[in-house]
């Protein structure tokens, strides 16, 4: 398992029904600090039981120059399943992490790409009081349930030339959420298509934006 300079350690853990990679930040040894948690949900082509598909991928494979003061968990969706079908397992994972690691339950964040971004929209809709902010990349969402996101900050990303998930799916969801709140923004890449994961995750300002958001009250999930 690769250990980057941004993370104290990365390990495979399976205490619940879903496997995941776990990365602890530099400084985690300080027992006085509670950390924000980023849960990253991958796209369709990383499904399965082979955890090596997630090594050096997505948020675990981004540039070494970034500062990532977060606990990071990257679960793997089983073959032939989808993230909305694994919703209970993902929530159980958050419960597990919050109980066993120094997670600040007011600072739990979701980042998802493609199928994973559909998954984080779904999670935030079903658990609107759980997450401090979400970052959907290359996806659409459930427009009819946008009112459930009235208190959830959103920073979305999409490629204008995406031929896998049409841009209208993302803009439709953004416009729907905007009817209920204003803490939402969309970054468009005018010359890029579906594959915008690396360029998005390599933005230091994304993680600074996450750190600006904290739920006013929070409970252990």
Q: What is the pLDDT of residue 16?
A: 57
Total count of domains within the chain: 1
End-to-end CA distance of the chain: 29
Considering Cα of 57, then 61, then 62, then 67, what sign does the dihedral take? positive
128 occurs within a structural domain:
yes
Burial code (b: 16+ CB inside 10 Å, e: under 16) for 51-71 equals: beebeebbbbebeeebebebb
Q: What is the pLDDT of residue 13?
A: 46
* Share above pLDDT 90 across residues of the chain, in percent, rounded to a whole number: 82
93 occurs within a structural domain:
yes
98 occurs within a structural domain:
yes
Is the pLDDT reported for residue 101 higher than 70?
yes
56 occurs within a structural domain:
yes
pTM of the full structure: 0.90
What is the tens place of the pLDDT at every residue in 107-162?
Answer: 999 999 999 999 999 999 999 999 999 999 999 999 999 999 999 999 999 999 99
Is the pLDDT reported for residue 181 higher than 50?
yes
CA neighbours closer than 13 Å in the CB half-sphere of residue 74: 23
Q: What is the mean pLDDT of the chain?
A: 90
Q: Domain residues for 54?
A: 7-211
Q: What is the pLDDT of residue 8?
A: 39
What is the tens place of the pLDDT at every residue in 48-89?
Answer: 999 999 988 999 998 777 999 999 999 999 999 999 999 999
Q: What is the pLDDT of residue 217?
A: 61
Is the pLDDT reported for residue 100 higher than 90?
yes
Q: What is the pLDDT of residue 97?
A: 95
64 occurs within a structural domain:
yes
199 occurs within a structural domain:
yes
Is the pLDDT reported for residue 166 higher than 80?
yes
Is the pLDDT reported for residue 12 higher than 70?
no
The CATH number of the domain holding residue 45 is 3.40.50.1820
The model's confidence at residue 14, banded by pLDDT at 50, 70 and 90, is very low
22 occurs within a structural domain:
yes
Is the pLDDT reported for residue 33 higher than 60?
yes
221 occurs within a structural domain:
no
Residue identified by tokens 């496997």 is 19
């Amino acid at each position: 398992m690769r250990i980057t300079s941004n993370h104290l350690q990365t390990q495979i853990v399976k205490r619940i029904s879903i496997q995941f990679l776990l990365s602890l930040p530099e400084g985690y040894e300080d027992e006085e600090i509670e950390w924000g948690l980023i849960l990253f949900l991958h796209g369709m082509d990383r499904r399965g039981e082979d955890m090596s598909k997630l090594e050096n991928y997505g948020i675990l494979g981004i540039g070494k120059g970034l500062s990532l003061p977060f606990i990071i968990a990257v679960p793997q969706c089983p073959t032939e399943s989808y993230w909305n079908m694994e919703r209970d397992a993902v929530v159980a994972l958050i419960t597990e992490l919050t109980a066993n690691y120094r997670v600040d339950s007011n600072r739990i964040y979701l980042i998802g790409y493609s199928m994973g971004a559909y998954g984080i929209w779904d999670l935030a809709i079903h658990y609107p009081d759980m997450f401090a902010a979400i970052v959907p990349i290359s996806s659409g969402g459930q427009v009819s349930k946008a009112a459930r996101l009235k208190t959830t900050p959103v920073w979305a990303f999409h490629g204008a030339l995406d031929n896998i998930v049409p841009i209208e799916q993302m803009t439709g969801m953004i416009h729907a959420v905007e009817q209920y709140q204003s803490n939402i923004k969309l970054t468009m890449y005018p010359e890029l298509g579906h594959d915008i994961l690396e360029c998005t995750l390599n933005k230091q300002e994304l993680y600074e934006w996450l750190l600006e958001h904290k739920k006013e009250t929070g409970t252990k999930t």
